[in-house]
Amino acid sequence: MIDNPVLRIIAKIIIPMILLFALYVQFHGDFGPGGGFQAGVIFAAGFILYGLVFGTESLRSAVPPAVLRLLIAVGLALFAGVGVITMLAGSDYLAYNALSEDPIAGQHLGILVVEFGVGVTVSAVMITIFLAFAGRNDP
């Protein structure tokens, strides 16, 4: 579909907006509707659109599968790591109060990092699933 100028130009215009909107959903998640899962899916949608328009090969060179695999693990490690840090701080698993002197700031920081971990893993998994299906007929 790379030959179609309308698709190509529209995609180039809206992909940055999709990514920006995903970041908004991600970081506004603790004040309003949204959060890591939704943001991760939206973020991945931007990449999937890129893959649809410019081909899976281009997508694969933009985000190599090895990087995706690393991101899946990093997101999970962020989530689990916050829990381990609170445990090391002498509190229960994922008890964010232990992250800061001020419990409210601790809760804020904790949920922010955890949701970011969720977002990273979800978007990487989404792109991986897309590549796995779209790339089935590739050599």
Partner 1 sequence: MINGQLPALQVVVPLIAAALCLVLSRPGAAWLITFAASVVSMLVSLLMLEEVLQSGVIDYAFGGWAAPFGIAYRVDIVNAYVLMIVSTISTVVSVFARVSVASEIETHNQGFFYTAWLLCLTGLLGIAITGDAFNLFVFLEISSLSSYVLIAMGSDRRALTAAYQYLIMGTIGATFILIGVGLLYALTGTLNMLDLAARLPEVADSRTARTGFAFLTVGLGLKIALFPLHLWLPNAYAYAPSAVSAFLAATATKVAVYVLLRFVFSVFGVEFALGAMPLALGLAVLGSIAVLSASTVAIFQQNLKRMLAYSSVAQVGYLALGVSLATPAGLTATLLHLFNHALMKGALFVALGCIAWRIGSSRLEDFAGLGYRMPWTMGVFVVGGLSLIGIPLTAGFISKWYLVLAALDKGWWPVTVVIIAGSLLAVIYIWRVVESAYLADPPAQTAKAEAPASMLIPAWLLAIANLYFGSHTDLSVGIAARAAAGLFGAAP
- Binding residues for partner 1, per CB under 8 A? 69-70, 72-74, 76-77, 80-81, 83-84, 87, 90-97
Which one, 40 or 46, has the nearer CB to partner 1? 40
Least Å distance between CB 38 and partner 1? Answer: 18
CB of 26 to partner 1, least distance (A): 20
In this structure, what token pair is assigned to residue 31?
């004040």
Contacts of 22 (CB under 8 A, 6+ apart): 39, 40, 42, 43, 45, 46, 119, 123
Name which of 55 and 83 has its Cβ closer to partner 1. 83
Question: Could you tell me the sign of the dihedral formed by the alpha carbons of 89, 36, 60, 10, in that order?
Answer: negative
**Smallest gap from residue 108 Cβ to partner 1 (A):** 14
Q: Which is nearer to partner 1, 8 or 60 (CB)?
A: 60
Complex with partner 1: residue 10 or 93, whichever CB lies closer:
93
CA distance 22 to 32: 14
Min CB(96)–partner 1 separation in Å: 7
For residue 76, give every residue at least 6 positions away whose Cβ sits within 8 Å of its Cβ, in sequence order, or none. Answer: 117, 121
**Closer CB to partner 1, 19 or 91, in the complex:** 91
> Which residue type, as a one-letter code, is found at position 114?
V
**Burial (CB count within 10 angstroms: exposed 0-12, middle 13-18, buried 19+), residue 97:** middle
CB 84 → partner 1: shortest distance, Å? 7
